Amino acid sequence: MLALGAQVNLSNDQSGRGYRRDRPRPAPYNLIGDPKAVLARAGGSVEPRDIGFRYGPPTAGGAPATSVTARWPAATVSLRWDAKRGQYLVVTDGRPDVSPSGTQYGASTVVVQYVASKDSANRDVNGRPTPVEQLVGSGRATVLRGGRVWQGTWSRSGATSPTTFTADGQVVTFAPQGPVWVLLVPTGRVATVR
């Protein structure tokens, strides 16, 4: 059984078990994982549980906000509110992220979760260490939905516990329709909200 907190390298090994290439997409963005097959390689995985997201009418308060931009050493991701679509549209490194059919990807709720980060023993294809984010504990959080933003906190008491997002003592709710994007931003970096 896999101990909680243990690290298992599930990168694409030479056998390709659990991974495939989506040829219309450019590399390295065309590597697609099969969650069931990859988790089977991990050993000791558990069935999904409540992750803590709460959906419903917007939480009271918030302030106007039409975009968020987060930067990491190798990428910049921006999401900009499009009232017509009712989503924050995704732009990576200055280029719109689009599906094979040409539709720009979007999120109805965007969460910026500030987390402690450290290098793992795993290496990417360029030989650089891949990060491990600390998702147990607490920290700052920013939630955007419907062209508004809530500044608050996140907390998670254990690896099998849900993550709670609050602002001004209230649970922050996410939009019921559409995807939720969570940007894990290392503590010390700043995501710009406008």
Range of the domain at 132: 50-193
β 109-115/180-186 pair status: parallel
| Residue 37 and residue 55 in one domain | no
How would you write the pLDDT of the chain (194 residues) with one tens digit per residue?
334 445 667 776 666 788 888 888 888 788 888 888 888 888 766 677 899 999 999 999 999 999 999 999 889 999 999 999 999 999 999 999 998 899 999 999 999 999 999 999 888 888 889 899 999 999 999 999 999 999 999 999 998 899 999 999 999 999 999 899 999 999 999 999 99
| Residue 27 and residue 107 in one domain | no
**Could you give the C-alpha distances from 154 to 41, 45, 78, 141, in angstroms and in order?**
30, 24, 21, 6
pTM for the whole thing?
0.81
- From the list 151, 149, 152, the residue with the least C-alpha distance to 138 is 152
Structural domains counted in the chain? 2
- What CATH number does residue 61 fall under? 3.50.90.10
| Residue 54 and residue 21 in one domain | no
Omega within 30 of 0 (cis) for the link into 28: yes
38 found inside a domain: yes
- From the list 124, 143, 17, 138, the residue with the least C-alpha distance to 73 is 124
